Amino acid sequence: MEFDVFIPARYGSRRLPGKPLIEIKGKPLIQYVYECARSSSAARVIVTTDDERIVEAVRGFGGEVHVTRAAHPTGTDRIAEAVDALGLADDRIIVNVQGDEPQMPGSLIDDVAHTLVDHPQSVMATACHPFAADNEHNDPNVVKVVIDIDGSALYFSRAPIPWSRERQTIRAQRHIGIYAYRVGLLKTFARWQRSDVEQIEQLEQLRVLYYGGRIIVHRTTAAPGVGVDTREDLVKFEQYLASI
């Protein structure tokens, strides 16, 4: 099995502007993400961005980059433009590793790609792990996923799902924002109108569920590491680097 990793990156993050280019120990954040992706079995790793500053940074450390237009509502839409421009075959598998995941293990990237291959009835694969703490279930910055008996996603939400009337054990899992899909699905995804639930939750994977696609979920036992969404996350990542 061969697959490619695409890393969508944009400069204008609301909570941490310019974060792909924030330097930590002499390297921009996007380089850490790129190096994680290169540690996987991917045949090719490509950063997709509309920002010339990110283009220059990626080329500066020897990475491959593809320039897209700016007006994309999600990273998946940005990747869809890139794979179309590159002329990739419809059955080619693409893994989306978000540009703010500097600790994404190469082994997890491989696992998500293999999960999609092993479940041909699914159009998309993603990952999850158990909650590390009970208070994460109520945190809107933590995305939750509820999974059916066959391992497919029923729903994703920032809200505490499922809501337990009787205070029973939480059965949701913490979602990890990594996705595998085939190029053919990406072309269709880009043509679909964004649903109300996707826009309300700001979760692109809900577009797939809304239009009837099946998302298989790979379960891992532990978190992949710090995703850098906020200044506090950045401090945690810096502390991690200082400890190794």
* Number of residues written out for the chain: 244
Residue 27 has pLDDT above 90, yes or no: yes
pLDDT at 169: 63
What is the C-alpha separation between 127 and 96, in angstroms, rounded?
12
pLDDT value at 168 more than 80:
no
What is the per-residue pLDDT across 67-98, written as a single tens digit (0 to 9) for each? 999 989 999 999 999 999 999 999 999 999 99
Query: Parallel, antiparallel, or unpaired: how do β-strands 64-67 and 44-49 relate?
Result: parallel
- Residues 207, 156: Cα–Cα separation, whole Å: 11
* Average pLDDT of span 105-113: 97
Range of the domain at 160: 3-243
pTM: 0.95
Residue with the bigger pLDDT between 133 and 176: it is 176
Indicate the DSSP class of residue 169.
Answer: P
Distance of alpha carbon 46 from alpha carbon 182, whole angstroms:
16
- What single letter denotes the amino acid at residue 191? R
CATH number at residue 181: 3.90.550.10
Domains contained in the chain, number: 1
Which residue carries 């998302």 as its tokens? Answer: 215
Residue range 202-237, pLDDT digits in tens: 999 999 999 999 999 999 988 888 888 888 888 888
Chain centroid to CA 79: 11
Q: How confident is the model at residue 117 (pLDDT cuts 50, 70, 90)?
A: very high
Strand, helix or coil at 140? coil
